Amino acid sequence: MKVLILGATSPIAVATARALTAEGASAFVLAGRSPDKLKRVADDLAARFDVEVDTSHYDAVDWQNHASWVADLPWVPDAVVVATGLLGEQDQAQTDAEHAQAILTCNFNGVVTTLEPLAQAMQARGSGVIGVMGSVAGLRGRQSNYVYGSAKAGLHAYLSGLRNRLFADGVHVTTALIGWVRTPMTAEFDLPAALVSEPAKVGQGLAKAMVRGNSVVYLPGYWRLIMWVIRSIPETLFKRLKL
């Protein structure tokens, strides 16, 4: 299995890559912005497992070049993992249009412009799996991070459509609705410790879901219950809450 990982230096992406080797991954292209960080992850994978690892410079906001970047890949991947994302600062996004734009592009626009050419190639071949990191934040907008949440909500809808389109051609799309994970993204938040999970667990969950062909998974699974509760609050009440 040949695997392309977008945003490969995030701890969840690293964990997913490691877990995919157990599922038969034999070659990786790790894509991201920082060459030093990419090299670190590439060396780790190559030293741990008997796999081929390449790195490639990729920036989610660089939409003009996404199609040619995909065309330059050494192979059409059997599995794609999308782990690019930017949580950003909600407060800043409310006043700084550039920041809001960056959040929307990293989490949504850039994924669309990258996945379209990839989907086309995989569709033409007639096989493959695409696993994308969505977020439980995209299931209901909250005042504390709705710019990020809305980008993820758009992403979820996009993936639902893509899955629908590619199903007949044997290409599978997995949407992972991820809860709180102990990563640099959440480092500065004071989150309830019992609800923060380890990147390794989430990565293993995503790898398993992709191989099994699950469409939408909550990682960890208990977020299904939490979000069911949060989603069932009537909007007239929800708008009065401080969330």
Q: Which residues are catalytic?
A: 148
Which residue of 40, 140, 142, 224 would you call a contact of other proteins, by CB under 8 A? 40
Q: In whole angstroms, what separates CA 148 from the centre of its chain?
A: 13
| Residue 201 in the binding site for other proteins (CB under 8 A) | no
Which residue of 97, 187, 194, 229 would you call a contact of other proteins, by CB under 8 A? 187
User: Per CB under 8 A, which region of 41-49, 107-115, 135-143, 207-215 contacts other proteins?
Assistant: 41-49
What is the residue whose two structure tokens read 């660089």? 62
Phi, psi for 191 (deg, rounded to 5): -100, 150
Which residue of 4, 6, 7, 11 would you call a contact of other proteins, by CB under 8 A? 11
Order across the sheet with 79-82: list the strands.
52-57, 27-32, 2-6, 79-82, 128-135, 171-178, 216-219
Which residue of 44, 52, 59, 89 would you call a contact of other proteins, by CB under 8 A? 44
Q: Which is nearer to other proteins, 49 or 63 (CB)?
A: 49
Residue 158 corresponds to which tokens in the numbers above?
């996009």
Distance CA 167, CA 50 (A): 32
Helices (H), 82-109: 90-95, 97-104
Min separation Cβ 114 and other proteins, Å: 24
In the Cβ-directed half-sphere of 230, how many Cα atoms lie within 13 Å?
Answer: 16
Which residue of 37, 140, 142, 224 would you call a contact of other proteins, by CB under 8 A? 37
| Residue 243 in the binding site for other proteins (CB under 8 A) | no
User: Per CB under 8 A, which region of 33-41, 80-88, 128-136, 162-170 contacts other proteins?
Assistant: 33-41
Distance CA 174, CA 160 (A): 9
Distance CA 10, CA 19 (A): 14
Which residue of 126, 184, 213, 221 would you call a contact of other proteins, by CB under 8 A? 184
| Residue 194 in the binding site for other proteins (CB under 8 A) | no
Q: Name the β-bridge partners of 241.
A: none
| Residue 52 in the binding site for other proteins (CB under 8 A) | no
Contact residues toward other proteins (CB under 8 A) are 9, 11, 36-37, 40-41, 43-44, 47-48, 182, 184, 187
